[in-house]
Amino acid sequence: MDSSALQFVAGGLTAGAIYALVALGFSIVYHASHAINFAQGEFVMVGGMAAVSFVGFGLPLVAAVPLAVLAAMMVGVLVQRLAIEPAQAAQARLQGASGRRPDVVTLIIVTIGVALVLRGVAQLLWDKRVHSLAAFSGQQPITLPGGATIVPQSLWVLAGTALAVAALAWFFGRTLYGKAMQAAAINPLAAQLMGISPRGVMRVSFALAALLGALGGVLTAPITFTSYDTGVMLGLKGFAAAMLGGLGSFAGAVAGGLLLGLVESLGAGFVSSAYKDAMAFIVILLVLFVLPGGLLGARRSDRV
Amino acid sequence: MRAAATVSERTAPAAAPAAARSRPGAAGQRRALAGLALLLALAPLAFPNAYVYEVAILVALNAVVCVGLNLLIGYAGQVSLGHAAFFALGGYGSALLAVHAGWPVWASLPAALAAVALIAWAVGRPTLRLEGHTLAMATLGLGVIVSIVLANEDRLTGGPDGMSVPPLALFGHTLHGERAWYAVAAAALWLAVAMALNLVHSPVGRALRALHGSPVAAETLGIDSARWKLRVFVISAVMAATAGALAAHHGGFITPGKASFLHSVELVIMVVFGGMASVWGAVVGAAVLTLLPQLLTVLKDYETMVFGAVLVATMVFFPRGIVPTLARLWGRGAR
Amino acid sequence: MTILLEVEGIAKRFGGLQVIESLSFAVEAGQVFSIIGPNGAGKTTLLNLLTGIYRPDAGRVRLAGQDVTGLAPHRWAAAGLARTFQNLQVFFNMSALDNVMTGRHRHERCAMWPSLLHTPALRRAEADCRGRAVALLRRVGLAPWLDAEAEAMPYGALKRLEIARALAAEPRLLLLDEPAAGLNATEAREIDALIRELAAEGIAVVLVEHNMRLVMEVSDRVLVLDRGRKLAEGPPHEVAEDERVVEAYLGTTAEPA
């Protein structure tokens, strides 16, 4: 393969891995609530910025990174307790008379609000400048067979993502609570009758989504830098990836993320670099028009 | 019980009192519209300088967008996360035709609106057939693509710095000055509110509310949900484009930032805050949330956070929005 | 008499379960046709199949001679069908009056510009529609609720509101899904009288009901559904005495009306 093409592939996979993490966060929350969490991108931002701060306080990288992820997880849980749950409760009270299922639009709107608050607070807590994080294992570029070069951080990104995906697969597939969460997504009432609390499932989902987002944030900060508004685009692109793979499908989120990263990178390299950012959104439109369920999502079946 | 007759005969207006019954609330609505006209006409007497006029024009035009968006969100139950794109396309469309194709503004403006209607139709038609929040995603994608294209095609659009827009001229007279533009914006607002209220209290409005109330029941009554949602989407897009075009010709300048996701979100916040299923709520929401940043210029840095907090607080504490919630409290208090 | 509903060999399966299997029957104008069966027999699925909400895997449905199989629900309405719902699908975001007025949708002119401008023609049409809606509300006994918001009305009133809304469509075929559920004896008797009135006017009424007294008193024909299949069909007293039906569903012979 041409070395520049290989370069684009390497870059695309690295970016794609981050999109995959963000997309997984979307899918987990969607799975639990059929809602799109527009604050997902902000979790990425919180992870990256928190890591920068902790390093600034003098902590070594090996401590700053996990602490940052933990901090983001706590933010995720807080967000869920203070904003999402009360909004759902308010909506339920509104729909109480008619007994309809809660409006998904509400959750979309609330998470947009949360995203704005997180971004606004970040702007005040930190500043508007771009910050970078030290690379985990140095910046010496590695030459791949074929002529392309990557920085070691890319390997961290890919490895970190692979590990996270494996851990999630283990959690949802083999642990009791993970399987309980799956059950709650399929039939909330039955799960409740079995003693699985839907609120607990939502909380864990948000915590996991925040963890994944923050992981992406700290892994990518040394390469792409971070600032108070990196969350916007990343969130939207991660969402596009989740849609591409099929909202609610975990495998789809990973596939969608990697695919989107590749499409973006190759498109920017061979077609037009000015429209790199637009690729993800063209993907959203194409998916909606052509394949509404995404690659691996459920096919549209009978309406009830 | 009474003797049998055909259903049609039985349901025809039997007695004069029933037929003469006017719509409950019609008189109140007429009074409110008259009040709005009065308010709009008299408000300038209190304006101390040109800057206040500018703010008023901004409020009025934002309200026009919000009234349209409110029809979509509150009555048709669909969220658009890219409405700012239609706003910007109205302005850019008219500007591009006027500047690069030499069209007079009284032709380029309607042409831009027609183009926006077409785009909205093209995007809405495939997506509105699907269940759920598909329109939200489609408009999100559209909005971002539009803002990126507008920023990149700098030969045509002047790129990220924007382009200048010729003034609006009708029958040889150029629309000039804040007073004239205020009259235009105020008239546009009044018309938007009047037509939206008319729509809500018409068979179309009932069909829309039915779709929002129970899509299943609406379909069994013969309401073609995809068709009606699409129509409302197109109307709301054209209303946004009209406001955008007026804003562009008034300001003499337009930038791609007007199409941004953030701007779209701001518009949604105005509608949700004001009241999702309330035309007057849309006006109030637009007014309050346009004035707020103007009044709190000191707190410019807090703007994002405040808007986000407003949105969350609304959904948690008064999810119906401020106007319907207040109307309810008033109704209860009056008893 | 004209046949208004013809069901030929319809079938529906969900995943591995055959919910409805090869069902055929016909309903004439002015007839009250009841569908009964134990829980899980497939009554709700059948109703959804009969209103276009589900699409049958096999078979055809004809409304007033027109083949409507596979068409979207709003097209079934155009063929003269209206229904009520077991779990109320009232428009809670509207007033009672607006609910019923919405029922007339397919008879209304719904053009955009007249609606935006409230032309005199539209205003006349609105007044007419309102008058009819008021008359319907009175007819089903909802006169005290003329000015009410739907969300303020009690359950029994809401069930009648749905009927009024369905009648506003001037249907030829009316499907009632458990109209007496949750109603007391007096209210159920009123529904009984209303159904017989509607049948006398030439409307075909298809009733899905658990209230045996209502079914036996009001029906011209009864179809018993058991596990998706027709167990018996005929006049009420015949069905009630059919051994298979007694065994599967009624337990003991139903009391004579």
Q: Report pLDDT for A297.
A: 62
- The answer on pLDDT for C40 being more than 90 is no
**Among A45, A80, A87, A70, which residue's Cα sits nearest to residue A229?**
A45
pLDDT at A294: 66
Which residues in chain A are contacts of C55 at CB distance < 8 A?
302
ipTM score for this prediction: 0.84
Contact A278 B308 (CB under 8 A): no
> Residue range C197-226: average pLDDT?
88
Q: Which residue has the tokens 């235009």?
A: B184
By the 10 Å C-beta count (0-12 exposed, 13-18 middle, 19+ buried), A198 is classed as middle
Contacts of A304 in chain C (CB under 8 A): 48, 53
Comparison of pLDDT for C171 and A153, the residue scoring more: C171
d(CA A92, CA A68): 34
Shortest CA distance to A61 belongs to which of A138, A128, A122? A138
Q: CB of C198 within 8 Å of any CB in chain B?
A: yes
Find the residue in C nearest to B219 (Cα): C74
A99–C53 C-beta distance less than 8 A: no
Extended beta strands in chain B, E state: 163-164, 169-170, 173-174, 253-254
Q: Is A287 helix (H, G, I), strand (E, B) or coil?
A: helix
Tell me how far apart the alpha carbons of residues A86 and A78 are, in angstroms, rounded to a whole number: 12
Neighbours of chain A (3+ CB pairs under 8 A): B, C
Side chain identity, residue B225: S
Any idea which residue has 């970190």 for tokens?
A160
Rounded distance between C-alpha atoms, residue B154 and residue B165, angstroms: 15
**Confidence label for A195 from pLDDT (cuts 50, 70 and 90):** confident
Ramachandran assignment for B171, one of left (phi > 0), alpha (psi -120 to 50 degrees), beta (any other): left
Q: How far apart are CA A247 and CA A50, in angstroms?
A: 29
Nearest by CB to residue A281, choosing from B79, B145, B302, is: B145
Separation in Å, CA of A290 to nearest CA in chain B: 9
pLDDT of residue B67: 96
Residue of chain C nearest A98, judged by CA positions: C92
**pLDDT at residue A296 in the model:** 67
- Locate B261 and state its tokens: 């996701």
How far is B281 from B270, CA to CA, in rounded Å? Answer: 9
Average pLDDT, chain A: 82
Say how far apart CA B264 and CA B65 lie, in whole Å: 10
Complete domains list, chain C, with CATH: 3-250 (3.40.50.300)
User: According to the model, what pLDDT value does residue A100 have?
Assistant: 45
Among C178-187, C206-215, C245-254, the minimum mean pLDDT is found in C245-254
pLDDT, tens digit (0-9, with 9 covering 90-100), for A254-264: 999 999 999 88
Residue A28 contacts residue A202 (beta carbons within 8 Å): no
- Judge residue B2's burial from the number of C-beta atoms within 10 Å of its C-beta, 0-12 exposed, 13-18 middle, 19 or more buried: exposed
For residue C109, is pLDDT > 90?
no
What is the pLDDT at residue B63? Answer: 96
Are B317 and A90 within 8 A, CB to CB? yes
Please tell me the predicted confidence (pLDDT) of residue B1: 38
pTM for the model stands at 0.85
Q: Per CB distance under 8 Å, which residues of C are interface residues toward A?
A: 48, 53-55, 87-88, 90, 92, 151
The domains of chain A, with CATH numbers, are: 3-290 (1.10.3470)
Cβ pair A120:B306 closer than 8 A: yes
Q: Nearest 5°: phi and psi at C6?
A: -125, 120
**Rounded distance between C-alpha atoms, residue A81 and residue A76, angstroms:** 9
Residues near C217 by beta carbon (within 8 Å), at least 6 away in sequence: C192, C257
Of B14, B198, B218, the CB nearest to C118: B198
DSSP for B5-28, written as a single string = --HHHHHS--SHHHHHPPPTTHHH
Tell me how far apart the 2 most distant CA atoms of chain C are, in Å: 64
> Contact partners of C by the rule of 3+ C-beta pairs under 8 A?
A, B
Instruction: List chain C residues with CB under 8 Å of A303.
Output: 53
CA B261/CA B253 separation, integer angstroms: 20
Between A197 and C166, the more confident residue is: C166
- For the record, the structure tokens of C44 come out as 């709700």
CA quadruple A37, A38, A39, A41: dihedral, nearest 10: 110
Kindly state the tokens that stand for B107.
Answer: 């032709």
Which spans in C142-245 are helix H?
155-168, 185-200, 212-218, 236-241, 243-245
Does residue A108 surpass a pLDDT of 50?
yes
Mean pLDDT across chain C, nearest whole number?
Answer: 86
Give B131: exposed, middle or buried? Use CB within 10 Å, 0-12, 13-18, 19+: exposed
Q: Torsion angle of alpha carbons B243, B247, B250, B254, nearest 10°?
A: -140
Residue C73 burial (C-beta neighbours within 10 Å; 0-12, 13-18, 19+): buried
C193 Cβ under 8 Å from any chain B Cβ: yes
pLDDT means per 10 residues in chain B (335 residues)? 41 42 77 88 85 90 95 85 94 90 87 95 85 79 90 83 83 79 92 93 89 86 87 94 94 90 91 90 93 77 85 88 85 56
CA distance A137 to A158: 14
Q: How far is CA B148 from CA A11, B145, B276, in A?
A: 22, 5, 29
Strand partners, C95: C149
The backbone torsions φ and ψ at residue B41, rounded to the nearest 5 degrees and listed phi first, read -75, -35
- The type of residue at B246 is L
Between chain B and chain C, the number of residue pairs with CB atoms below 8 A apart is 157
Neighbors of chain B by Cβ distance (3+ pairs < 8 Å)? A, C
Residues in chain B: 335
Which residue in chain A has the smallest CA separation from C89? A98
CA distances, C129 to each of A136, A166, B78, C89, C165 (Å): 73, 63, 28, 21, 12
Query: Dihedral of CA B33/B34/B40/B43: which sign?
Result: negative
Given this model, what pLDDT does residue C252 score? 53
Pairing of strands A149-150, C17-28: unpaired
Find the CB nearest A302 among C55, C87, C92.
C55
- pLDDT tens, C69-108? 888 888 888 888 999 988 888 998 889 999 999 999 888 8
Nearest to C14 by CA among A42, A110, A301, A58: A301
Residue with tokens 């607990």: A200
Question: Which among B67, B54, B127, B61 has a CA at the least distance from the CA of B90?
Answer: B61
Contact with chain B for residue C135, Cβ under 8 A? yes
pLDDT (tens digit, 9 = 90+) per residue, A140-189? 888 877 777 788 888 888 888 899 889 888 888 888 878 888 777 777 77
CA distance A35 to chain C (A): 23
C54:A302 CB<8 A = yes
Identify the residue with better confidence: A222 or A3: A222
d(CA A296, CA A255): 9
